[in-house]
Amino acid sequence: MIKKRFNPITDRSSEIIAFLMSSPDMPKDDDLRFKIELSIEEAVENVVQYAYEGGIGWLEAGTSLDDESLILTIELRDAGIPFNPLEKADPDVTLAADERPVGGLGIYLCKNMMDSISYQYEKGNNVLVMKKRV
């Protein structure tokens, strides 16, 4: 796994996203890259905005590629407030934007853009894993 720890993460979302997207594990296909980047943006922003009170904390981000199955794995790990974004109910996208409650659309997009997303709280860390067949 290619990974890097960002500390602190305040105002570093674009740097974290750029690090992940520059990984040699990333596909070259523009459509796949768009879906992956959008998912990464949403997940990273959630950590940067909400994981730590006061916004100061670390995020470890990494990628790996299974050469046999061509599954790209993106892992985000932080020691912020325990939060499983997958427990939040999906927004009702049939409603107009101004009729929907704020929040939840980002993880909904991730669920629809990636092949799988998992979360676990492990040894004091939030661990979000997103996978995409490339």
b/e 10-44 (16+ beta carbons within 10 angstroms → b): eebbeebbebbeebebbbeeeebeebbbbbbbbbb
pTM of the model: 0.88
CATH 3.30.565.10 fits 2-133, yes or no: yes
| Helix H or strand E segment including 6 | strand 2-6
30-51 residue pLDDT tens: 999 999 999 999 999 999 988 9
Question: What's residue 91's pLDDT?
Answer: 60
Low-confidence ranges of the chain (pLDDT < 70): 89-105
Per domain, the residue ranges of the chain are 2-133
Q: Is 62 helix (H, G, I), strand (E, B) or coil?
A: strand
pLDDT in tens, 15-28: 999 999 999 999 99
Q: Where are the alpha helices (DSSP H) in 7-125?
A: 13-21, 30-50, 105-113
pLDDT of residue 107: 83
